[in-house]
């Protein structure tokens, strides 16, 4: 069974591991990995379950596979063609929550280990780090494992993240970095009053618009040759007034900034504040408050032997891959300050969607691809 990625993935889907519950999925994986000779250690914190499995405990791994067993909720279950946690196979397609994000990748990696072992490959340098909280806040997930490995001096040399990186066919995209993420709220407080007596009010909305516009235009110089452009997106605007004859007391704009490694999150916070500062003096009756939170630092793995190894393995598996830095954030960022991180996984089209699914052919292709990587270590 361990060489069959579809059966492994199906079993994992049947554990309803909605963040942060592992719902028995990690116990199943521990049994499979123990059978392959891995030593498993748990680093659970509060409700989050974390597993680190190694072939050579006490030594840093050469390659550590990183993934998550948790899934997002199924949403409207009645909208699914097959029950989301049944793991139904129909017409060579496996349906279920987590099929591509990312139980399918975990199944494929374990199957690739079993196959590589059967072919006589020494897997001593391989480790696996899994968490049950990637889709949620993630604070008690991979960061806990990274800290534990760091304190024991066992950080791996290279990390392979199994997130669904592929676009149209398995292996068509290798992620070699991710943008950082910063969320913010700009709040302007004015003076509330009757719209018919503007001399008694100070409307906070025009200065809010001016401020957001200024921030929106501020990132044209933040470029990195290997990254998509930095984006500032206003995602919500609200005010304290719900009626048309009331000038609001306050107005706020919510925004998100996705940024390249050219500037750090802290640099951006400073830049945003420096931009706003001079502008606020034009509105002496208003108070401005800018709140910011860095939710992910960017990372980038430069071209080198590890990227070359992955690219070569992907090519040998018959895939024509481009390397990119698109998509949202991933747990790879927690390892990135210490080691090279690359991400290769299934196609992401149905991730988090109703009727999430993966073809058996794709699971087998990803298994082959992972096996090629293992054989090259």
Residues contributing to the site for Zn ion (CB under 5 A): 101-102, 163
* CB 319 to Zn ion: min, Å: 20
List the end-to-end C-alpha distance of the chain, in Å, as a whole number: 24
Q: Tell me if residue 92 is catalytic.
A: no
Answer for the pair 365, 317: CB distance below 8 angstroms, yes or no. yes
* CB 163 to Zn ion: min, Å: 5
* CB 8 to Zn ion: min, Å: 17
Residue with tokens 């020494």: 122
List own/partner pairs for 326-329 with CB under 8 A and 24 or more apart: 326/173, 326/175, 326/228, 327/163, 327/165, 327/175, 327/178, 328/178, 328/181, 329/178, 329/179, 329/180, 329/181, 329/295, 329/296
Residue 330: both structure tokens together: 């991933």
Q: Pick the catalytic residue: 70, 101, 163, 371?
A: 70
Task: Select 181 or 292, whichever has its Cβ closest to Zn ion.
Answer: 181
Task: Select 102 or 321, whichever has its Cβ closest to Zn ion.
Answer: 102
* CB 53 to Zn ion: min, Å: 19
Task: Select 163 or 222, whichever has its Cβ closest to Zn ion.
Answer: 163
Q: Pick the catalytic residue: 22, 101, 133, 134?
A: 134
Q: What is the DSSP string of 160-210?
A: EE-S--BSSSTTSEEE-EE-EEEEEEEEEE-B-EETT-GGG-B-SHHHHHH
Task: Select 277 or 328, whichever has its Cβ closest to Zn ion.
Answer: 328
Which residue in the shown chain puts its C-beta closest to Zn ion?
A: 101
Residue with tokens 């990637």: 134
- So which residues are the catalytic ones? 70, 134
């Amino acid at each position: 069974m361990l060489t069959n990625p579809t059966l492994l993935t199906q079993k994992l889907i049947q554990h309803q591991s909605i963040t942060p519950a592992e719902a028995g999925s990690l116990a199943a994986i521990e049994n499979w990995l123990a059978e392959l000779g891995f030593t498993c250690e748990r680093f659970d914190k509060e409700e989050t379950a974390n597993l680190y499995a190694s072939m050579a405990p006490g030594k840093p791994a050469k390659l550590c596979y990183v993934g998550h067993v948790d899934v997002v909720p199924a949403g409207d279950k009645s909208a699914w063609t097959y029950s989301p946690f049944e793991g139904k196979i129909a017409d060579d397609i496996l349906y279920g929550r987590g099929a591509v994000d990312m139980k399918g990748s975990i199944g494929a990696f374990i199957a690739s280990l079993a196959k590589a072992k059967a072919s006589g490959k020494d897997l001593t340098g391989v480790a696996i780090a899994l968490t049950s909280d990637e889709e949620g806040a993630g604070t008690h997930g991979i960061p806990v494992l990274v800290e534990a490995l760091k304190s024991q001096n066992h950080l791996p040399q290279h990390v392979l993240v199994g997130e669904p990186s592929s676009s149209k066919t398995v292996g068509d995209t290798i992620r070699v970095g991710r943008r950082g993420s910063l969320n913010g709220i700009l709040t302007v407080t004015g003076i509330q009053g009757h719209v018919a007596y503007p001399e008694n009010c100070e409307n906070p909305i025009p200065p809010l618009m001016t401020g957001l516009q200024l921030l929106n235009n501020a990132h044209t110089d933040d470029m990195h040759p290997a990254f998509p452009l930095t984006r500032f997106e206003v995602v919500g605007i609200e005010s304290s007034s719900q009626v048309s004859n009331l000038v609001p007391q306050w107005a706020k704009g919510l925004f998100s900034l996705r940024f390249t490694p050219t500037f750090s999150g802290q640099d951006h916070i400073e830049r945003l504040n420096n931009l706003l500062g001079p502008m606020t003096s034009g509105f002496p009756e208003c108070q401005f408050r800018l709140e910011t939170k860095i939710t992910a630092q960017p990372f980038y793995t430069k071209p080198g032997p590890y990227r070359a190894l992955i690219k070569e393995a992907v090519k040998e598996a018959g895939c024509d891959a481009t390397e990119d830095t698109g998509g949202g954030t991933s747990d790879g960022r927690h390892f990135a300050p210490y080691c090279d991180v690359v991400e290769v996984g299934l196609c992401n089209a149905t991730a988090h969607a109703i009727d999430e699914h993966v073809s058996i052919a794709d699971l087998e292709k990803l298994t082959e691809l992972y096996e090629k990587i293992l054989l090259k270590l």
